[in-house]
Structures are given as structure tokens and as C-alpha cells.
Amino acid sequence: MYIIKQLRRKNNISQSQLGKEIGVSLRTIQLYERKDANIPIKNLTKIAEYFGLTIAELYMHEVNDMGEAYTKRQPFTKHGSVFYPLEHGKYLVMAPLVLVEWHQKYIASLQKESLSNPFQGGFIIDFLTDEPHRIFEVSGDSMNDNSVAAIPNKSYVLGLEIKKESLARNKEAYWNQSYILVCVDRIICKRLTGYNRKSKTILCHNLNSSPEFQDFELPLDDVLQIFKIVKKQL
């Protein structure tokens, strides 16, 4: 992000100093200062906090300092997420963030119908939908096969909620895609490959082929929410 360089220079901070503050290398800071840099949420949060800003404010400074008009475009809220219109049909979405440490609290809040999430994260998207957005921190390496599709441990993924009843229709369009499954006892990330009408289970596939990661069937009744993964940050 170009604004990182601007803020760093304004505060007379070197690249190596900033890298030391957030725990990354000089080379990483140099990459982060590019206009279209893909910065992990955890490090973007540290950078924003270091300069006394929120992630949303950091992005807004980026837009304004690069000369792109924003003042005529007002942010709006939908399903608990705040959308900031950018240029070229893109949006910054600040969505509820479910960290690994908050998985069980999130599940409990759903079952009590009293959802209250203190965390938020940001993604740049180029489309709008009517479905709720959520950002999840992934736990474990069952989806890490070192390919382009891999979702390693501690990744952050942006998901769009879909109705779980939709999977029971067994349409081809739903399968061979990665999802976040909010179950009654855990939150997991899996590739879904089909629906077994007889047992009313969804077929869950792990990308990691190690013996400890076995594919399995999950009763649809044990699933509270399903989110289709549309973006990820490593």
C-alpha cells in the first residue's frame, strides 16, 4: 500500500524500523509498500494500530492519496459488514472476523441467537451479493497441499453464507469448492464434493493427502452455517 510509505516518511520511520515493530523483514515491508500489495490481516492490523488508525481508515487514506475520488461515495452497512465503495467497481468490506480463539464463542452465540462479534477484518472485493460476509481464521493444515488452492493453517478466508438446505438439492455448481462449515461443536474448512441423500450427509474432502487427514461424511443437521470461500489471505 502506497499510504504505508507516506505514513512512514511522515513519521520519520525507516522500513527496517517498521518491520521490527510488526515482526517482519525489511523485504516484506518493501513488498507491502507496493500499491496492490496483498497484506495479511494480522500484519495489516499491526500496521494500522502502529499509526493510530483502523484498517478501514488505512484503506481510505490509500484511496485519497492515490488521487481516486471517494468523497462522493458513502459507505453502507449490510448484514453486519461495512462496505466502502472504491474506484473501478471495487469495495473494501469490513466484515466480522472469527479468530481461532473465538470459534467456540461464535458457535455458542449462534445457538443462543445472541451474536456479538468484537473483531473485524478487511478484504477488497469486486462484486456485491445479498448474502452475509464473514471472515474466518483457519485452524490446521488439512486443506494445505501446497497448491494454488491450498488454505494453510492461520489463513484468513472471506466467506459468503449460503443456506445449508441448498446443498441438499445436490446441484453440481456447489461441489468441488472450499467452504467454512460452522458445526455444533467446531468450525472447519473443507472441500465439499457431494451430498448423500440417503444418509443426509455432505461429503467432506481434505486437500492434504497425509494419512492423518481422512475424508468423511458430515450430517447436514450438525451444520449451523455454511460459507463459500471467495477470497483468502495467507
pLDDT digits 0-9 by tens, 125-155:
988 888 999 999 999 999 999 999 999 999 9
Q: Which CATH architecture has domain 1-67?
A: Orthogonal Bundle (1.10)
The region of weakest confidence among 58-72, 80-94, 162-176 is: 58-72
The residue that leads in pLDDT, 43 or 71, is 43
- Most confident range, picked from 15-19, 59-63, 85-89, 203-207: 203-207
**Average pLDDT score over residue span 160-169:** 92
Side chain identity, residue 208: N
- State the pLDDT confidence band at 69, using cuts at 50, 70 and 90: very low
